[in-house]
Structure 1
């Protein structure tokens, strides 16, 4: 998607039920490395680190939610976590948010519509959760995941 075609990031805030105090985190979570390189942005302006952080935050929030339901067996907790957190599920949540319409894609990514296959949208959702975590902490990130429906059925 071109910059001109992108939607207002505030729509994402409305959909996830979280308003960023530090809006630059939201913009970073919506910026791909390819876009950063093409636009000459600083090396830390893209989502990659946030996606790594968001992956860990999602895992913690889901395990916490599973344990809160009374689960105590390590194998059962792990199985429930794997059923709740997988690429397909995260990608589906990203699609429900129309996240691809908000991401700043590199020109080649946009031409190839990379968000239509593989793990790309799941990583974008992870970056968004990583940004929420940095902005508002674990409680804010867990709240977003509940509102998205990821942990409500843990």
Structure 2
């Protein structure tokens, strides 16, 4: 059955030259016998493209903010919840191709799947039209949130600690890796460590900023949705 992607493309603001890419971005692995013809690889690409575009948007929009502050904003904007909200705005649910079991389980409304599809679509747009096309799609749906969500940004260290506690994991530990730079412009590199996970380093002009950057980077890498009192991830 041929699917009419026109309404979805209108919402995206991008009309595909190669609609196979959009089809793959909307295909869950449960609906494909070939893992390469599903959204997994496109999600991997789209995650990186989204991060780059949002980082550039933040860099331009907030010239006076530090690395740590920009990292916190980035983590808030590219988290799974934000991506799922973008997918809902686009109205992707009816277009997602799912296996029978996943469809019966309501997969097209699951936050995790919607977030993955959002990233996959961004990856597909990038392959189809390049970085300029992907930037237009991302800016259209994320730009207003970049400003309106400011008051909702949560402390990265607190969010990570609550996430760990909800899963009965130890409290994340922060370790100074390097202190450099002159006294008037110090540079701190701090690693956040949590048993069972690879450590990751954050950089900032103070220990606190570097710790926040490390927590934000951990949240981003592990695709954690830092919501208050969240007990499980869909």
Q: Normalising TM by the smaller chain, what interval?
A: 0.7 to 0.9
* Structure-to-structure mapping, 1:4-43, within 5 angstroms: 8-37=4-33, 42-43=34-35
Output the CA distance in 2 between the equivalents of 1:71 and 1:135: 35
Residue 80 (structure 1) aligns with: 73
Match of 1:95 among 88, 98, 102: 88
Partner residue of 1:106?
99
Partner of 1:48: 40
Aligned-residue CA RMSD (Å): 1.8
Flag the 1:110–1:71 CA change in 2: closer, same or farther, 3 A.
farther
* 1:63 maps to which of 46, 55, 64: 55
How many pairs does the alignment contain? 145
Query: What TM-score, normalized by structure 2, do the two folds share?
Result: 0.58
1:88 deviates by 1.2
Unaligned runs of 5+ in 2: 148-234
Which structure has more relative contact order (CA 8 Å, sep 6+)? It is 1
Aligned to 1:119, the other structure's residue is in SS state helix
Query: Which residue of the partner structure matches residue 136 of structure 1?
Result: 129
> In the alignment, is the contact (CA less than 8 A) between 2:93 and 2:108 conserved in 1?
yes
What do the CA deviations read for 1:99-127 (whole angstroms, capped 9, x no partner)? 11011111111111123334110001111
Partner Cα separation in structure 2 for residue 31 and residue 121 of structure 1: 11
- The 1:105–1:83 alpha-carbon spacing in structure 2 relative to 1, beyond 3 Å, is same
Q: Give me the TM-score of the superposition, normalised by structure 1.
A: 0.86
